[in-house]
Structure formats: structure tokens, C-alpha cells
Structure 1
Amino acid sequence: MSVKKTKSVNMSRNSMPLRDMPLLSVQGSLLHLTKRGNKRKSMGCNSDGLEVECTPTDCIQHCSPLRKHQRLLTRGKENEDNQFVIARRPRRNREILSGLSWDHLPDELLLKIFFYLPLQELLKMASVCKRWHRLVFDESLWHSVDLEGLAHMGPALQHILKTGVRRLRCPRAFVEELQFTSSRPLQVIQMDLSSSIIPVAALEGIIASCTQLQNLSLEGLQLSDAIIHSLAKNDNLEQLNICGCSGFSSGALEEMLKTCQRILQLNISWCDFTSDHVKSVVHSVSACVTHLNLSGYRENMTLDDIKVLVSRCQKIHILDLSDSTLLMVDSFPVLAQLKHLLHLSLSRCYHIHPAALSDLAKKIPSLVKLDVFGLINDSHLPALKKEMPHISINSRLFSTIARPTPAGRAVGHYSDCSMWNQKCRLRVRL
């Protein structure tokens, strides 16, 4: 009888309306509902008993702020109790916590920071974002660049020329292909392309866009009349080195020299010249030239050419006439007319007798250096030095006239990377 009574009591409680149940039972059902919701999300199945009942809306709204407040209190403590949780904080909060972002820095400050980066690191910065890419290639960072040793020279040279570079060093380069076209003149002031292999058409495109050149070295390159005519547009040219060049006529050379009357240093030695080329030089070179290298012209350089040169260019300090085999002792009185002559090179001028060299100290009192390689034996050199104690004899093997890097240094050494006594800021480091 007691079992039946208990069963009837339970049935009556289960059938009792939900609004007449005690509040404790309602809160308990809310907790069960929360657990049931979690179980449904995790297991996808229903449970029996009170958990299937619908919870009143007012109770859910009453308890919801407690759950939200609980999330705020636990923020930042996701990984406590050895429970790993990935939580992403809002970007605005991260910026506030860090104090200052790179995006907040002005362009001027970023450019100042980029200025101290080497070339390879600077190029890496260009891949960070569009803004940094724009700043990395700002003209202020690319005023002086040294590309010596770069493998793929063509694309790099084409890109560098368009960055507004002022000083470009690129000797001993191999440029396989270069399609260079520019809608505006280049800003290059100093450029060294010595001993490079560059197609004539590519070099014509580069020189044709240059109008502000002051120092230029094209030593050993194949040129053309178009290149020489383009050089004539650079009326501020002061140092020009076209030693060992070929491929241009005497007429184009004469026009260029008559236009560029500010040239102070000219190295035009060992070119593929005829006697007409030599005459174009001595009749057209600037009267204010101070350093002149006209060596290597053997039978094409005559005494009459020396007379024309001396009468026009009285400011010459350094003169190289080596390998002019037609010159003899009768050229000494002509050379004595150069009152400011400090350094004279007569190496391998075999028609000059060694005994006559001692008279140079008397005829040219301003002379301090004399190069006569091939004219006097090493055994007789001490006696000649004794007769001319104030003159340094055979002290320099190679000419430095208009050359960006003096010859004789170890190629590839860091001290060999200067260009007209200045080093480029951005340099390829291998």
C-alpha cells in the first residue's frame, strides 16, 4: 500500500502546473537547461525528466547579464588551469596596449629609418605593405648606388635608373638585355660603367636620357656616333674617361669636345683613332683642361699636334704622351711652355735619348713627377734620380686621369669601391 501511495504522490507533483512550482525548482531547471543545451551541442541527443521542459523567458533574461559579466571577468585568463584556449583580442585594444604602431609614424620618420638600412634589407622592407613599398623606392634613398657584383644586372640597372639615382657605380658589369626608355631626363650626375659589356643600343638609350652628367667613365666600351652626340648635351661635363673606346668618328668627337668646354680631366688614350681623331682632340679640347691623357697613338701623334695643344691649353698640370713614338728631344722646348706642368709621362717614346732626360729639370722647373718607363734601364735609374733630386721618377705605373677608381688597387676589395673619392651609400654586399 505504501508503494502505491508514493507513486501517486510523484505523479501528482509531475502533473502540477509549472507556475505553481517553487522558485528553487525553476532555477534548478535553468541550470539543467544550460547543461542540456551543452549536451545537445556536444552529443546531439535529448534527456528525460524536467530537462525537457521549456524555461520561462523572464528567467533567461534575468540570468543572461550574469553570464556576460562572467565572460568579462575571465577575459585575459583563458589559459589558466592548464587549459589552452585561443582568444583574439580586438585590434584597437592591441594598439592601445602596445602604445604606438608603425602605421602611426609619418613618412618622413620612416624614410629616416630606411636611410640607415643596407641595400638587401631595404629591398626586403618593400614587401611589407604598399605604403612601405612606396617609401622604399623614394628618390631620397637612391641618390648613390653601387651595383658591382650583381648577377642579374639588366633588370636591376633598368629599375635603378628610374629611381632618380644621382651617383651610379656599375663597373665590370654584364648587361645581357636592356630595353631602356624614359619619358623624362635622368638625374645621373656621376656614372661609372668601366670595363662593362653593354649592347650599344642599350648604352645609346641610357646616355640619350642623361643631360646633367659631370663625371662619366665608359672605359673599354664599344661606342657610336649617337652616344658621342648625346654626350654633347651634357655641357656641365668635367671629367670624361673614354680610354680604350672605339666605334665613333672624328667629326662626332670634334663636335662633342667643342660643346663640352668645361672638361677639366680627359682620358682619351688608346682609342681606335686615326690621325684625324688626334687632330680633332688637340684642336677642340677645352682650353681649361688640367689633366689630359693622350697616350697610345704612336705614329698618329706628331710634334705639330703637340704645338697646337700647348698653344691652346696653357693650364695643363698633368700630361700623358706615352707611346708616341714620333716624339723626340725637340719636343722639350715646346713642352716647357706649359708653366703649370707638374707631371709628365713620356714612357716608351723610344726616339728620346735617355741622356737628354736630365735637361727636363732645367727646362721645366715646375716638374715634380716624370714617368719614362721603357726608356731607361733599372741600373741607370739611380744615376738619373741623382741628377734630378727634386723630381720623382717612375713613381706611378698607371694613369689616374679621369678614372673613377685609381688603377692598381685589388679588384673587389672594399677600398676599391670608391668613385671619384666617394663611396656609394647603397652597395651590393656579396
Structure 2
Amino acid sequence: MPKHSMPLQDLPCLSLQGSMLSQSENNNKRKSKGCLSEGLDVECTPTELIQQWSPSHKHQRLICKGKENDSNRFVLARRSRRKKESTTSGLSWDHLPDELLLRILCYIPLQDLLRMTVVCKRWHRLAFDESLWHSVDLEGLTHTGSALQQVLKTGVRMLRCPRSFVEELDFTDIGRLQLVRVDLSSSIIPTSSLERIICECRLLEYLSLEGLQLSDTILSALSKNPNLLQLNLSGCSGFSGPALADMLKSLVSIEQLNISWCEFNNNHVKSVVNNLSPTATHLNLSGYRENLLLDDVKVLVTRCPYIQTLDLSDSTLLMADCFPVLKHLTGLVHLSLSRCYHIHLAALTDLGKTFPTLRLLDVFGIVNGSHLSSLKKELPLVGINTLPFSSTARPTPAARPADRSMWNTRCRLRVRLSAPHLHVQPAVR
């Protein structure tokens, strides 16, 4: 083999200081030889040659202190690479079963849970598992429409969404809903969207639609929820008396009904007193002024003898002759007659004897000042004007506006008020 083509390890012994080659020979060899001999012919030491032809990402040490370089001979040596430390000693998330991951995810806040949906397909599936979305509180969102549509698809059972703005939504693939407790009080929502939601409900037990524009279609859909226990329709409008009557006939388990201050005429009032289930124990029928008559009270007492809380405030045609009728409510605990101006103070002083079980009496607007003090002395066992707001069928008592519970139950997933929006993206892989 020619000398200039010999492997590097077979070259004659070279000094670390390097030996000079003839410039003319180098020029002749550079013209006729390959790239390796071309590099060896330049004027440099073997160390510099190695650096020149080694991969750029590997850096050889120029001076090595080791027994392979004890002499004045240069020797190439390769040491074994250090083995990477094993990372399999602990468990990874991928090794955990779904049941354990779901147990962990049940402690994750709503916004963080949504961020996890973009990690991978498995986490996206787990993050939307029905068990995690059992109860959701969306209060505080600026635009609730898209979030509400996504939440309804998770199989949510408790939904709190009061005072929200809900846009017109597309519910073509919403399917049957699992909703049991719903609070949409004082929200702005298109009637058509509300119809689409209520029409898919069959399991409702607690519902508040206070202040919303309803329709006969919505009341007809509510009649298909025979397990409904508490219904708050205070301040609602847009439905007829016959539709109201048909709904109340079907709600055979109703316990609390708040149907105050709706756009009612006397036909609406008669629909209530003639069809309310005898199971009712709390009724708010206030705000009907000339539309609530003594005959209506007689029908109501006969039909619903187990009423414990009764609010007939702002019924201006009622007088003291209603007390002998109300006396048949032997379990009456709370009676509201605020602004019933034809009922005089003298008739109220005997209520302790007329209603031995009475504990709360609201007479705002007809008893004030010194007369109120006198009445309190006459009725020492009765709290007078202690509750300015009705709590019948309301999810959150008006006296506790900051309370985010719903019928004494808090939702697990809540929107933090600092969150500007709620949006779910598809999985990344």
C-alpha cells in the first residue's frame, strides 16, 4: 500500500510537535490524491488533523492525561459511552388506569380541566367524562352561549347559569339531557333556545326560570317531568292559562311553586288554584292585585290543605274575611299579606289564636312604626316582617346574593370570575 494511502494508525511515528514535509511534494500529492490524503498533506500536527476531520459536534481534548499517552506516541482510543440513567423506575401517566385518572381529575378546576383537553386524545376523552361534569356553575361568563352548548353535551345534571347572556344556539345534535337541577334565573336567552333545552329534559326536579320569556311549548315540555319538586316561574310571561293548567295537572309531585308577579289575568290565577297538586307545601301567589279573589283562596285551601308557606301579598281585594278560610290550613307556618291594604291591624292581633302553628308573618306596608311594636307584643311567638324576600322555590335566597349554592348544593366545576371566556379546543393528537 502506498505510504500516502496508509490508515492513520499505520503511519510512521510522528512527533507531537509535528514534522515538516516538503512543500513541493505536498503540492504534487494534493493534485492527485483523495480527500483524506489531501488533509494529511497540509502543514499541521496530527492533533489538528483529527480536529479537522472529526464531526463538528464532537470535541476532542487536545491534551489528554492518561496512560495511553504516557509515551511520546499518539494513540487513538475510544472509551465506552456512559449509559443513560434508566427512567423506567417510576410510573408514567400513560400507565395509570382511567379510573385512577378520573379520581385525580375530579379535583381539577374548570379552566385547568379544559386546558387538559388539548394534551392528547386520551386526556381529551377523560376530561369530558360524564362523572366530572355532574355539576357546573357558569355564572360570571360574558357570553355563555358556546360554553352552555358544550356543557350540555357532557351529561351535566346540575347547571347553574343565572344572570347570563345566551346567544341563539344550534342544538341540532344535543340529544336527551340529564339535567336534574337548573338555575337560569334573570338570564337573557332566546325563547327558541330555551324551548330546545327544556324539550330535551325528562328528569327535572328543581328548576328556576325567573324573569324569562316563556311559551306554551315550554310549559308543555315541563309537564313531561313528573318528578319536578320545586318550580320558580316568578316574573315570567308569554304563556296562556290553559297551558299553565295542563302543566300543573302533570306535576303531581310538586312541593314548592313560585308563580308570583307573572303577566296574569284572573284566568291564569284560576288555572293555578284549580290544578295545583295537593302535595304542594309552599306557594307564592303574590302580585295579582284585583285578579285574586276570596273564592280563589277557598278553592286553593280546599285543594291543597298541607300548605305551610303561603304568600298572597299585593292582593288588594283580600280582607279580614279570608282568615276563617285560611284557618283550614292547620300546618301554616309562614303567611305573607304585605300590601293587602284592606286588612286592618285589629284583625291581625288574633292571628296567634287563629293559626297556632304560625311562626312568620309578613305585613309590610300595612303595619308600621308604633303599630308594629304593638303587634309584636300581641304575637310574641311570631316573627313579624323578618323576611322581606320570598324564598319559595328560589335556588338562592335573595338575602344571600353572593351565595353561589343552588338549593343548598354547590356545583363542583365553577368559572372563576377572572376568566374572560370558556372555550374548548380539539385534541392535538
Cα deviations across residues 272-321 of structure 1 (Å, max 9, x unaligned)? Answer: 00100000000000111000000000000000000000001010000000
Q: CA deviation at 1:102?
A: 1.0
For the pair 1:394 / 2:394, whether they are aligned, the reply is no
- Map of 1:144 onto structure 2: 135
Q: Is the 8 A contact 1:95 1:101 kept in 2?
A: no
Q: Is the 8 A contact 2:315 2:339 kept in 1?
A: yes
1:234 partner letter: N
Distance 1:340 1:28, change over 3 A: same
Q: Report the Cα distance in structure 2 between the residues aligned to 1:162 and 1:255, rounded to whole angstroms.
A: 30
Distance 1:48 1:133, change over 3 A: same
- Map of 2:63 onto structure 1: none
> Structure 2: 5+ residue runs without aligned partners?
15-32, 47-74, 418-429
1:28 partner letter: D
Cα deviations across residues 371-409 of structure 1 (Å, max 9, x unaligned)? Answer: 000001222111110011111110100000000000022
Aligned counterpart for 1:47 among listed residues 15, 36, 40: 40
Q: Report the Cα distance in structure 2 between the residues aligned to 1:108 and 1:208, rounded to whole angstroms.
A: 33
Distance 1:74 1:389, change over 3 A: same
Distance 1:382 1:17, change over 3 A: closer
Cα deviations across residues 129-148 of structure 1 (Å, max 9, x unaligned)? Answer: 11101100000000000000
Q: Is the 8 A contact 1:126 1:134 kept in 2?
A: yes
Q: CA deviation at 1:262?
A: 0.5
For the pair 1:422 / 2:404, whether they are aligned, the reply is no
Aligned counterpart for 1:243 among listed residues 234, 242, 253: 234
- Map of 2:260 onto structure 1: 269
Q: Report the Cα distance in structure 1 between the residues aligned to 2:330 and 2:340, rounded to whole angstroms.
A: 22
Farther-moved stretch of structure 1 (103-112 vs 242-251): 103-112
Q: Report the Cα distance in structure 1 between the residues aligned to 2:245 and 2:37, rounded to whole angstroms.
A: 96
Equivalent pairs counted in the alignment come to 369
Q: CA deviation at 1:353?
A: 1.0
Distance 1:290 1:47, change over 3 A: same
Q: CA deviation at 1:185?
A: 1.3
Q: CA deviation at 1:28?
A: 2.8
Aligned counterpart for 1:322 among listed residues 305, 313, 327: 313
For the pair 1:117 / 2:124, whether they are aligned, the reply is no
Distance 1:296 1:16, change over 3 A: closer
- Map of 2:351 onto structure 1: 360
For the pair 1:103 / 2:106, whether they are aligned, the reply is no
Q: Is the 8 A contact 1:291 1:316 kept in 2?
A: yes
Aligned counterpart for 2:213 among listed residues 219, 222, 228: 222
Q: Report the Cα distance in structure 1 between the residues aligned to 2:149 and 2:239, rounded to whole angstroms.
A: 25
Q: Is the 8 A contact 1:181 1:205 kept in 2?
A: no
RMSD: 2.8
Q: Report the Cα distance in structure 2 between the residues aligned to 1:146 and 1:99, rounded to whole angstroms.
A: 37
Distance 1:324 1:17, change over 3 A: closer
Q: Report the Cα distance in structure 2 between the residues aligned to 1:388 and 1:190, rounded to whole angstroms.
A: 38
Aligned counterpart for 1:291 among listed residues 282, 307, 310: 282
2:410 partner letter: K
Alignment partner of 1:384: what SS? helix
Q: Report the Cα distance in structure 2 between the residues aligned to 1:231 and 1:289, rounded to whole angstroms.
A: 17
Q: Report the Cα distance in structure 1 between the residues aligned to 2:314 and 2:354, rounded to whole angstroms.
A: 22
- TM-score with structure 1 setting the length: 0.81
Aligned counterpart for 1:342 among listed residues 291, 316, 333: 333
Higher helix share: 1
Sequence identity, in percent? 62
- Map of 1:56 onto structure 2: none
2:40 partner letter: S
Q: Report the Cα distance in structure 1 between the residues aligned to 2:281 and 2:330, rounded to whole angstroms.
A: 12
Q: Report the Cα distance in structure 2 between the residues aligned to 1:110 and 1:179, rounded to whole angstroms.
A: 32
Q: Report the Cα distance in structure 2 between the residues aligned to 1:210 and 1:103, rounded to whole angstroms.
A: 37
Distance 1:280 1:16, change over 3 A: closer
Q: CA deviation at 1:179?
A: 1.6
1:396 partner letter: L
Distance 1:307 1:15, change over 3 A: closer
Distance 1:267 1:27, change over 3 A: same
Q: Is the 8 A contact 1:171 1:194 kept in 2?
A: yes
Distance 1:44 1:388, change over 3 A: farther
- Map of 1:74 onto structure 2: 81
Cα deviations across residues 76-125 of structure 1 (Å, max 9, x unaligned)? Answer: 5xxxxxxxxxxxx7xxx7642x5221111111111111110111111111
Q: Report the Cα distance in structure 1 between the residues aligned to 2:399 and 2:156, rounded to whole angstroms.
A: 28
Structure 1: 4+ residue segments shifted above 6 A: 14-18, 40-44
Cα deviations across residues 203-238 of structure 1 (Å, max 9, x unaligned)? Answer: 000000111000000000000011000001101100
Q: Is the 8 A contact 2:4 2:37 kept in 1?
A: no
> Structure 1: 5+ residue runs without aligned partners?
1-13, 33-39, 52-66, 77-88
Aligned counterpart for 1:190 among listed residues 181, 191, 194: 181
Farther-moved stretch of structure 1 (117-126 vs 275-284): 117-126
For the pair 1:29 / 2:11, whether they are aligned, the reply is yes
Q: CA deviation at 1:181?
A: 3.0
Q: Report the Cα distance in structure 2 between the residues aligned to 1:282 and 1:173, rounded to whole angstroms.
A: 32
Higher relative contact order (CA 8 A, sep 6+): 2
Q: Report the Cα distance in structure 2 between the residues aligned to 1:216 and 1:418, rounded to whole angstroms.
A: 14
